[in-house]
Amino acid sequence: MGNSFEKFRKNDVYLIVILIVIGIAGLILMQAVKKQGGTVVVKVDGKVYKELKLSENQTVEIVNDKGNKNILEIKDGKVDMTYADCNNQVCVNHKKIMYNGETIICMPNDVIVEIHSDDDSNVDAVAR
Ligand SMILES: [Zn+2]
């Protein structure tokens, strides 16, 4: 009798552990999907210049009205400014961005790179 009770408790613990593991896996998966679904919005002179998928590896050349050039690289869900002909190089020295709301700004060239995750599309009231 006491034996079967112990077995029951053991199975219970296994069940709880399995549920926790599934829960954590689900959270990680959701996070990954969220990251994949992001959009990289490039603005030049305050206007939307290009919209890119965060999930697609690509290198994009950005040229503003004055002919200034920036090169943006999207790789493995991370966005990096790899080149700019601006005088301060703040944007090139900026760390790679990957999360919703993060930005890389090149003030001299008037270039703004923003990450928008797909599930908060109603927050774009910031558009000027
Ligand atoms: Zn710059």
pLDDT at 5: 66
SS3 for 72? strand
The model's pTM is 0.66
Question: Separation of 112 CA from ligand 1 center, angstroms?
Answer: 10
Question: Separation of 71 CA from ligand 1 center, angstroms?
Answer: 10
Q: pLDDT (tens digit, 9 = 90+) per residue, 100-111?
A: 999 999 999 999
pLDDT at 84: 98
Question: Separation of 121 CA from ligand 1 center, angstroms?
Answer: 27
**pLDDT (average), residues 34-53:** 88
Helices (H), 37-128: 90-93
Question: Separation of 26 CA from ligand 1 center, angstroms?
Answer: 39
Question: Separation of 60 CA from ligand 1 center, angstroms?
Answer: 15
SS3 for 94? coil
34-37 long-range contacts (CB < 8 A, ≥24 apart) are 34/100, 34/117, 34/119, 35/77, 35/98, 35/99, 35/117, 36/77, 37/117, 37/118, 37/119
- CA-CA distance, 19 to 4, in Å (whole number)? 23
CB atoms within 10 A of CB 118: 13
Domain range annotation of the chain: 1-36, 38-126
Question: Separation of 88 CA from ligand 1 center, angstroms?
Answer: 6
Question: Separation of 34 CA from ligand 1 center, angstroms?
Answer: 28
Assigned CATH class of 38-126: mainly beta
The H or E element that residue 84 is part of is strand 78-84
- CA-CA distance, 115 to 113, in Å (whole number)? 7
- Is 36's pLDDT higher than 90? no
Question: Separation of 109 CA from ligand 1 center, angstroms?
Answer: 6
**pLDDT (average), residues 1-10:** 68
Give 20's DSSP letter: H
Question: Separation of 92 CA from ligand 1 center, angstroms?
Answer: 6
